[in-house]
Structure formats: structure tokens, C-alpha cells
Amino acid sequence: MKLDHNHIETINKKELSQHQADFDFLANRLEQKGNHINGLIEKLCAFQVAIPSWALGAGGTRFGRFSTKGEPSTLEQKIEDVGLIHSLTKTAGAISLHIPWDVPKDYKAIKELADSHDLIFDAVNSNTFQDQKNSPFSYKFGSLCNTDQKVREQAIQHNMDVIAIGDKLGSKSLTVWLADGASFPGQHNFQAALTNTQYSLQSIYKSMPQDWKLFIEYKPYEPNFYSTVIQDWGTSLMLANECGERAYTLVDLGHHLPNTNIEQIVSTLMLKGKLGGFHFNDSKYGDDDLTVGSIKPYSLFLIFNELVYGMENNPQNPYPAWMIDASHNIKDPLEDIIQSLEAIQEAYAKALLIDQNKLREAQLNYDVTLCQEIIQDAFRTDVRPLIAAAKIRSGGAINPIKAYRELGLRSKLIAKRGNSVASGL
């Protein structure tokens, strides 16, 4: 299933005149303040976020899962879903695969399918936090950190396989998230676990093609509840440094202890040229994996402030790989992702509005009141007309959620797929 662009245009038409008035008013105000509207829209158009293949069906918790209908059950259908999202939003031009859930049978066909949806393959993700049928060794007590060399080798080999798959699809990076850790004091030797993890990551790093990057994710807890080997950005950075130049830290917004200042971590990593990837979601308590911007939109904006600053001022840092990493337990997964994309665009647009020169001057004058005024002026601006303008320019829908509903896409998916259930989590 593929969206006909005419359908989107028809829907847009109904809102176009109101949009134009809103946009003109906002553009005029922003230009008065010295913004270059066209440049802003171009940046918004260029900002593309990968959708992970496992996030297109209903997620759940250890207490259960309430399924949704019309979920994709094949890689083809997953690509189709991301294609729909991208058609509507024009900000989801990539898909991130998870192996072994998404091993293609016919690589050429899969590449062509993705291409037909205007999608590229972003970072590939390995999975050593679950046991696979027929695997000789279990990851119950760790994978890359395991004290048993045979388990480590199996996990390293799996990562190599994932790289090989990604390579065939045009991916250029591997994301390693490790559940490795301990649930009880004394369960493992911290130093042995860390050292084993380092050696394993170094092996994987060395096996990557020369133009590939390695992203090392960190997380303080869950599924282990006493310690996690890569518990924070400091550990991740240390390991990335041990691996080499093309190894980076990956920040997932939900992977922090309560009250962590994440924007400062982002800023430090970009200063060091080591922020490789970024996973978006939102949370109130732990790794809640909620819709981006649904709980703490101001934090997201502050983080984007640092990302924008780094992209402008830190040539030592590569352009980060963006991905949504959320779980859709009670909303339609596609609607949930669209809301996330809107929130990301909003935070990005607002961060772009911050007058960095004025801010710098206020900072140098210790004028804290004014610093806050400058930051909040950007945040308080209603940037939706700007985002809509970017959508229109790219061929997307002015209001993607509304368009998704008017086009009856979920019903069509159900009609086509039935109550099929997504593979994966």
C-alpha cells in the first residue's frame, strides 16, 4: 500500500488558505526578529528521523500487551508502514532494522521496495538480550560481557552477521544496545564484565567496513535491576574511545536516572566529537518509551538547543543518526509515531529560533534573566505554521494525523492484513 500524493494534496487544500494566513503572520514576525524563513524551512525539510522496524506494532509491558489491529507481520509490511508515515510527514525517510527480526530474504527486492518509498536503511540493531531458538548458548547471564568465551563469541558473531546484512542494504552503522548486567550484588565481577565488554566491542569494531560507525548505547537499569555494564554516558564514551575513531556514544532519552541533565551530556559528547546516535522518546519514571514530547517538551527543546549548537559549532562531531525508539502500548502505533515526529520537528524549529548571538551576549553579561527570556521567547513561539510550510514544500500533509484519519489508513491496513500481530517485542 502506497499513498497517492494527490490524496494528500486534496486534504491539504482544505486547510491551505488558513495555513497561508498563519504562516504569513508568523513569518513576518520571525523576520522582524532577524530570522531567515527560507533557511529555517530548508533545515526542517532536511531533518529526517529513522523509524525502527519493531515500533510499528503494539508494545507492551511485563504485565501484558493489548494488541492493535492491522499490524505488519513481514519486513515488507513494515517498510510499507514507514512509507505511509513518511508520505504524510516527509520526516521519516529511513528505517532501522532489528536483527534477527528483520532478515531480508531477497535483498534486491527489499532495497527496491524501500527505495520506492523514498526510504534508506539507517543503523542496524543487533539483539543479544534474548535467546533465539537453535542458538547454542544463552544470554541469560550476559552476552558481550559474559565470562564464557563461547557465549561472547556467539554474540560477537551475531553482530558481525548484522553488519553483513546491513551492509547489503546500504546501512552505514551498527547500534549495540546491551542488556548485560546483574540483578544482584555479587552476581558478577564489575571489572571482568567491563573488560570483556570492551574486548568484544573492539572485535566487532574491527570487523566493520571502513565507512561504518559503531554506536554504543548506555542505560542505567532494566532488564537488569542491580547494575548494567554500560550504565551511563561516561562508560559508553570510555568504551568508544577504546574502540577507535568511528565508535560513538548513542543517547536514548529514556536511559537516564531521575533528574539527569541530558542536554549537558549531549553538549559534552558533541564537544568531544563523540555523539553518534540519538534515540527519541519521552518518559516520566524510567524507560517509559512514550510519545516524544508528550511529557517533557521543554526538556526536549533544551536538548535540541544543544544539538543545534553542536551541529553549528562542533565540526569534530559527525552528523548524528536520529531514531524514534518508543513503545506504543495504547495508541495506534502509526499515529503515535506521527505525533513523535511532530514533536521533534517542533522542538527543532524552536531551537533554531534561539538568537544565539544575543544569548551569548547575555551569558557574558551574567544577565540570567535575559538568558531565560531569550530561551523562552523561542519556546513560547507557536511554530506550527513553519512546520506545516516545510511539510507542504516536501509534499507531506499539513496535519498528518488528520490526514491519516481522513484517509482511513488504519482501516485499510486492517482490511488488507486482518488482525495480524507484529513480530518483535
For 117, list phi and psi in degrees, rounded to 5: -100, 5
Name 386's Cβ contacts closer than 8 Å, sequence gap at least 6: 23, 26, 27, 30, 37, 40, 41, 44, 349
Question: Is residue 31 near its own copies by the rule CB under 8 A?
Answer: no
What's the rounded Cα separation, in Å, for the pair 69 and 78?
A: 14
Which of 10, 157, 363, 411 touches its own copies (CB under 8 A)?
Answer: 363
One residue of 359, 390, 403, 407 binding its own copies per CB under 8 A: 359
Among 306, 320, 347, 409, indicate the residue that binds its own copies (CB under 8 A): 306
- In this complex, which beta carbon is closest to its own copies, that of residue 168 or of residue 402? 402
Show Cβ contacts of residue 189 under 8 Å, excluding neighbours closer than 6 positions.
Answer: none
The least CB distance from residue 384 to its own copies, in Å, is 6
Q: If you compute the radius of gyration of the chain from its CA atoms, what whole number of angstroms results?
A: 22
Asked if 174 and 214 count as a contact pair (C-beta separation under 8 A), the reply is: yes
Nearer to its own copies, 169 or 270 (CB): 270
Residue closest to 348 by CA, chosen among 30, 21, 49: 49
Based on CB atoms, which residue is closest to its own copies, 60 or 395? 60
Please check whether residue 197 is in contact with residue 242, taking contact to mean a CB–CB distance below 8 angstroms.
no
CB within 8 Å of 154: residues ≥ 6 apart: 135, 136, 137, 143
Q: Considering only residues 78 through 97, tell me which ones interact with its own copies, judged by CB under 8 A.
A: none
Q: Identify the CA nearest to 331 among candidates 50, 56, 2.
A: 56
Question: Bridge-partner residues for 279, per DSSP?
Answer: 252, 323
Compare residues 22 and 153 and give the one whose CB is closer to its own copies: 22
In the complex with its own copies, the residue whose CB is nearer, 162 or 240, is: 240
Compare residues 134 and 191 and give the one whose CB is closer to its own copies: 191
Integer Cα distance of 155 and 224 in angstroms: 18
Beta bridge partner(s), residue 217: 250
Between 102 and 306, name the residue whose CB sits nearer to its own copies. Answer: 306
Nearest-approach distance from CB 409 to its own copies, in angstroms: 13
Per-residue string for binding with its own copies, 315-344, x by CB under 8 A?
------------x-xxxx--xx--x-----
Assess 285 for contact with its own copies (CB under 8 A): yes
Residue of 91, 96, 231, 420 that binds its own copies (CB under 8 A): 231
Query: Do 282 and 288 touch, CB atoms closer than 8 A?
Result: yes
The binder of its own copies chosen from 34, 136, 185, 315 (CB under 8 A): 185
Q: How far is CA 400 from CA 62, 319, 370, in A?
A: 32, 27, 36
Residue 364 beta carbon to its own copies: minimum distance, rounded to whole angstroms: 5
- Residue 410 binds to its own copies (criterion: CB under 8 A): no
Min separation Cβ 22 and its own copies, Å: 8
Q: Is 371 in the site for its own copies (CB under 8 A)?
A: yes
Among 125, 203, 283, 317, which residue interacts with its own copies (rule: CB under 8 A)? Answer: 283
| Site mask for its own copies (CB under 8 A), range 32-61, x = bound | ---------------------------xxx
Query: Of the ranges 37-45, 78-86, 108-116, 133-141, which one interacts with its own copies (CB under 8 A)?
Result: 133-141
Number of residues in contact with its own copies under rule CB under 8 A:
106
- Give the DSSP H or E segment for 249: strand 247-252
Q: Which of 210, 258, 315, 319 binds its own copies (CB under 8 A)?
A: 258
Could you tell me if 96 and 82 are in contact, meaning their C-beta atoms sit under 8 angstroms apart? no
